[in-house]
Structure 1
Amino acid sequence: MLSYVANPVGHLSSAKIIALSFALVIFVGSLLLNLPISQVATSDATYFDHLFIAVSAVCVTGLWVESIYDTYNIFGQIIMMILIQIGGLGLMTFISVIYFKIGHNVRMSAQVAVTGALNSNSLDNISNWLGKIFKYTFIIEGIGALLFATFFIPELGFAKGTFISIFMAVSAFCNAGFDPLSNMSMIGYQTVPIINWTIISLIVLGGIGFSVWFDVTNQVKQFDWSRPRIAIKTAIRKLRPHTKLALGMTVLIICLGTILFLAFEWQNEGTIGDMTVGNKIMTAVFQTVTMRTAGFASIDYTLAHPVSILIFIVTMFIGGSPGGTAGGLKTTTFALVIMMAIAEVKQKENVNFVKHTIPAQLLRQAFVIFLLYIALLIIGSGLILTFDPQVDYLYILFESISAFATVGVTANLTPTLTLASQVVIMSLMFIGRIGPMTMFISLLPDKKDKTSDIQYTTTNILIG
């Protein structure tokens, strides 16, 4: 018989637990950032500014209304780094790991909340699963920090260089996009290979999804190095369909986005026109990867062609893969919606992928999430357009999807918006981080209405 830890929120649904856990961390974080010991002497930030930053950090977005560089000292930046790490993995994940490590069992509702926060659909051996997540997370962040240190320590000195390296590694892996270096993100380092490729690698590893990690590492452990060609085919065949779809979509989006960025920006002197061919390609890859929810910028988006901004919007909308630190609609959700549309056009009954049929319920959920993202994006951008009608709608849409997909890139717009628009941006970040479906479910009563799901006689309605 399982013994459960006393849980004051045990009667709440997993959706409510997820929403409340993020809200709690945001509130505590805003109070800590508001303390004088967290700020530099010249800071003139208000509590609202700290609240906005706390939302952005916990929701691993990267947008700000007051400069991180000009507002927070080392202590404040450490608080931010902790908020980013908690936001990337989820508060319930940290609590569960602590409980498991001290020998307690966690309530089933809390376990469901953890798997929901990390987009996992399994409760099997969750303690081991969580332990592996923490282990791989800190190993990857540690390697990233060491790579950053090879540049920042000689550049900034041991103490500052070490701190910057750790902060950057956490921020990149959690797809947060914050950096304490300047107010211009990575523009000053746009041609430094070790910085760019390390950030790219951390973003991809953080956004690919924890379940994909474990599936790939399991195949690597079983790899037969005596017959590499056959072993590669075997490993690919044994990968789960989810892993194949997530990896396939990731490669497709990065390659396609890089090619389109190069095509439209090749001669644009405001972005990459004056760079060498190698730096152009590196910047194109960096920008495509960061648009998948990371938020680091190595170009000025106000100088990019409008069609490039539109491509960025689509890339941000799709986002990263489920079960990781990335946001957005998610690559697999987008793929399922496209596959469902193709199957419908071809008048096929089933949607198949790698000799597996996708359940109709899963397709329906993917389509509902797709519609929710579009609806909330239209509502959010429409509200900002109402409060700031003087701003070009393309940049409002860019800023809105950047917040909603927890990306964090900006066309230098967020700090200039009205207070009402900034509240909308905060709301979009929060809903985007916990997920629109989770947000709506958390607002519903916990008790199900058994009389609402009644089947009547069928009828036909004209469509198209």
Structure 2
Amino acid sequence: MKVVLKKIELTPPQILVIGFAAIILIGATLLSTPAASASGTPVSFLNALFTATSATCVTGLVVVDTGTTYSLFGQIVIISLIQVGGLGFMTMATLFAFMLKKRISLKERLILQEAMNQGSMEGIVRLIRKVIRYSLTIELVGAVIFSIRWSIDLGPAKGIYYGIWHAISFFNNAGFDLFGPVTGPFSSLTSYASDPAINVVAMGLIILGGLGFIVISDLLELKVNKRLSLHSKVVLSATGFLIVFGALVILIFEFTNQKTLAPLSGPGKVLAAFFQSVSPRTAGANTVDIGGMRQATQFFTIILMFIGASPGSTGGGIKTTTFTTLIGAIIAMIRGKEDIVLFHYRLGKDRILKAITLTMIALFLVVFVSMILSTTENHPFLMILFEVTSAFGTVGLTMGLTPDLSDVGKIMIALTMFAGRLGPLTLAYALGPKAEKELYRYPEGKITIG
């Protein structure tokens, strides 16, 4: 009897989902071994899975302190997952293909196009080369400065190790840190709240990682091209506005808060306010106690986390371009205009529909998971909403809920991080039925809105 096996054809979104899931499972297996634990007692598989998901999805939420729980081997596994997750496993696979002088196939180019959120395959391999080159250069510069600074406090060997580790973590917007043994578990960069060198370099790495490689490439080639693309103009404008406006709001709300900015000097307050404005754009590090912030600031941080970074970057969220498109739609509607115009360019209807769809799916996801956790976790709703939004935006900031999560809570947050890293639309395309061309259109109808 002849058995015929049907060949399974996977779409680029499905390959991305399976690839990230495989990396997470490999990471979880390694982190659950005795060699990965600082004490020699293996971390539970669920905690290892949560950590691997957080690292691969470059989030930074942790149920156990990274610096005190994991050994050198475990820390290297985590930072490797962060690098692969931040740049994308297809980017790393392409790097090895370059090293082996292997040709990039058409299907691989399609997957890279999906992974980098590009509209076409044109120049995709050239873009990947730039991504690798820019990333390693930026991480190297950050590592050198960090190493010099931390060698003063921690000694040369530990200072260099911390410098390299945190440069990778911050550029990839992961938010993981190793300062548990130095300043206490889950302390992040709170002991460096007023340190200009650490703050400026960390913010620089976070911003560059969150801008997206297309924008970085555009900026570096500005002398040649003489102009920026519409995408770069929108990203830079939105990023600059959100950072400055965010810092101003945080400074106003937290200026007299004894648990956050009040004990700092004048320059220290400004520095900390800017850091807390930059970090919610999916970085996850903090220099003041997030749980000690006023509720108004915490809710404002939730909004920043939901917006997130920019397309083609190491960050999550609905992205700055989506946010700008929605604001443009509101302004156009109020003014009675038919088109959304940004920098003298009209946006196509497909861009607007995609922005609305992405935002609504993201909103439904955050609301749904928040409702589930409200029944499984005995904590205030704002704390739960903060945690879920942080997971979706792959941010990593927490008000202190992560270590207290139940097993169900850990699984839900891990799934939210996974969805946030891949993107709601990519996940929907991967899990949904194959799109078919419509053979006919229904007549147009009218309903009353508002």
Q: After superposition, where does 1:3-14 map in structure 2 within 5 Å?
A: 11-14=9-12
Aligned partners of 1:99, 1:10: CA distance in 2, in Å? 24
Check the 8 A contact 1:10/1:109 in 2, yes or no. no
The residue type paired with residue 436 of structure 2 is D
Aligned partners of 2:432, 2:106: CA distance in 1, in Å? 20
Equivalent position to 1:54, from 52, 55, 78: 52
Corresponding residue for residue 3 of structure 2:
none
Check the 8 A contact 1:265/1:272 in 2, yes or no. yes
Aligned partners of 2:416, 2:121: CA distance in 1, in Å? 29
1:284 aligns with 2:284: no
Q: Considering only aligned residues, what root-mean-square deviation do their CA atoms show, in Å?
A: 1.7
Report the TM-score when normalising by structure 1: 0.92
The residue type paired with residue 411 of structure 2 is V
Check the 8 A contact 2:34/2:42 in 1, yes or no. no
Aligned partners of 2:319, 2:194: CA distance in 1, in Å? 30
Corresponding residue for residue 210 of structure 2:
207
Corresponding residue for residue 16 of structure 1:
14
Report the CA distance shift for 1:196/1:122 in structure 2 as closer, same or farther (over 3 A).
Answer: same
The residue type paired with residue 189 of structure 2 is M
Shift in Å at residue 37 of structure 1?
Answer: 1.3
Aligned partners of 2:192, 2:425: CA distance in 1, in Å? 38
Secondary structure of the residue aligned to 1:326 is: coil
Alignment deviations for residues 79-123 of structure 1 (CA, whole Å, 9 cap, x no partner): 111100000011011112322443333332321222222222232
The residue type paired with residue 115 of structure 1 is Q
1:391 aligns with 2:401: no
Aligned partners of 1:120, 1:77: CA distance in 2, in Å? 33
1:186 aligns with 2:189: yes
Equivalent position to 2:201, from 195, 198, 203: 198
Greater CA drift, 120-129 or 69-78: 120-129
Equivalent position to 1:406, from 391, 394, 402: 394
Corresponding residue for residue 228 of structure 1:
none
Secondary structure of the residue aligned to 2:336 is: coil
Shift in Å at residue 462 of structure 1?
Answer: 2.5
Report the CA distance shift for 1:456/1:366 in structure 2 as closer, same or farther (over 3 A).
Answer: same
Q: After superposition, where does 1:304-453 map in structure 2 within 5 Å?
A: 304-388=293-377, 390-446=378-434, 448-450=435-437
Aligned partners of 2:176, 2:223: CA distance in 1, in Å? 33
Check the 8 A contact 2:112/2:124 in 1, yes or no. no
Report the TM-score when normalising by structure 2: 0.95
The residue type paired with residue 396 of structure 2 is G
Greater CA drift, 356-365 or 36-45: 36-45
Q: List runs of 5+ in structure 2 lacking aligned partners.
A: 1-6
Secondary structure of the residue aligned to 2:396 is: coil
Check the 8 A contact 2:211/2:235 in 1, yes or no. yes
Corresponding residue for residue 45 of structure 1:
43
Alignment deviations for residues 143-184 of structure 1 (CA, whole Å, 9 cap, x no partner): 000110111112212222111110000000000000111121
Shift in Å at residue 221 of structure 1?
Answer: 4.9
The residue type paired with residue 32 of structure 1 is L
Shift in Å at residue 318 of structure 1?
Answer: 0.7
Identity of aligned residues (%): 35
Secondary structure of the residue aligned to 2:296 is: helix
Q: After superposition, where does 1:259-274 map in structure 2 within 5 Å?
A: 259-274=248-263
Equivalent position to 2:441, from 418, 436, 455: 455
Check the 8 A contact 1:89/1:118 in 2, yes or no. no
Check the 8 A contact 1:100/1:127 in 2, yes or no. no
Shift in Å at residue 296 of structure 1?
Answer: 0.2
Q: After superposition, where does 1:27-176 map in structure 2 within 5 Å?
A: 27-41=25-39, 43=41, 45-176=43-174
Aligned partners of 2:376, 2:423: CA distance in 1, in Å? 25
Q: What is the count of residue pairs matched by the alignment?
A: 440
Shift in Å at residue 42 of structure 1?
Answer: 5.5
